[in-house]
Amino acid sequence: MDPEDPTIIAETELLGAAASIEAAAKKLEQLKPRAKPKQADETLDFEDQILEAAKSIAAATSALVKSASAAQRELVQQGKVGSNLANAVDDGQWSQGLISVARMVAAATSNLCEAANASVQGHASEEKLICSAKQVAASTAQLLVACKVKADHDSEAMRRLQAAGNAVKRASDNLVKAAQKAAFDKTEDDSVVVKTKFVGGIAQIIAAQEEMLRKERELEEARKKLAQIRQQQYKFLPSELREDEGSH
């Protein structure tokens, strides 16, 4: 085997991504929610839900990346990738695209595991968890697109890959729902005491409006920053993924 062959490099990178996800999953397995008295009617509290959902995502993304490696190996064996010198540049770009997206899946899963860890220790917001889970789902979708560009959709490897992708999406959705519920419950608990005096009440309204405007401005700045980051990343994506992203 030629160590410089982009198809060999891609398979090595995919297996490396799977290994890094499994390492993050092992850390999650050792986590325990903070000890606190449980309510009589409480079956599975927020922290347990977050840990279970995060563990499911880690297991699903690990299976996903391994399935991508099997799909890539199948394409090499079928001669659809790496066998024709005339397509060497195209195959090389495809392999590089697969590598970059696999790294994105691994990084997103690692970030999610860290956010889940911080969350159960009381150090991270539900918003961070939600963003991390959505990033895992987005990078998973890109990996599926990257593999489908060259693959036979009816092959066993592609069916497994699609099943793993669906499992990641389900687990990510479960985590988002749990985090959103926790954020909503927290908001419900923070009851606002309105001042009885009229002047005090007006001051509260002005302060609340001021806070709202400030947060709207921060949201707009965050949107611009995200758009700039995506624009930068877009340049490094293979053309197939660019077309897919542009269609959304």
Tell me the mean pLDDT in the region 124-128. Answer: 78
Confidence of residue 40 (pLDDT cuts 50, 70, 90): very low
CA distance 125 to 109: 17
Q: What per-residue string of b and e applies to 104-122 under the rule 16 or more CB within 10 Å gives b?
A: bbbbbbbbbbbbbbebbee
Mark residue 139 as left, alpha or beta (left: phi above 0; alpha: psi -120 to 50; beta: remaining). alpha
Q: Residue 4: helix, strand or coil by DSSP? A: coil
In order of 56, 140, 163, 194, the CA distances from 117 in angstroms are: 14, 21, 27, 36
Give me the pLDDT at residue 156, please.
Answer: 81
pLDDT of residue 196 exceeding 60, the answer is no
pLDDT of residue 47 exceeding 70, the answer is yes
Instruction: Identify the residue whose tokens are 């392999």.
Output: 95
Q: Taking Cα atoms as reference points, which of 61, 38, 24 lies closest to residue 142?
A: 61
In order of 36, 116, 133, 171, 198, the CA distances from 47 in angstroms are: 11, 9, 15, 15, 41
Question: Cβ distance 165 to 138 under 8 Å?
Answer: no
pLDDT of residue 234 exceeding 80, the answer is no
Confidence of residue 84 (pLDDT cuts 50, 70, 90): low
Q: Using one digit for the tens of pLDDT, what is the confidence trace for 106-116? A: 888 888 888 88
Give me the pLDDT at residue 210, please.
Answer: 78
Ranges 26-35, 61-70, 139-148, 172-181: which has the least confidence: 26-35
Query: Which top CATH class is 6-192?
Result: mainly alpha
In three-state form (DSSP H/G/I as H, E/B as E, the rest C), the secondary structure along 5-25 is CHHHHHHHHHHHHHHHHHHHH
Give me the pLDDT at residue 43, please.
Answer: 44
pLDDT of residue 226 exceeding 80, the answer is yes
Quote the distance between the C-alpha of residue 107 and its chain's center: 8
Q: Using one digit for the tens of pLDDT, what is the confidence trace for 213-225? A: 888 888 999 999 9
Confidence of residue 202 (pLDDT cuts 50, 70, 90): low
Cβ contacts of residue 134 below 8 Å, gap of 6+?
172, 176
Confidence of residue 86 (pLDDT cuts 50, 70, 90): low
Give the start-to-end residue ranges of the domains of the chain.
Answer: 6-192, 195-247
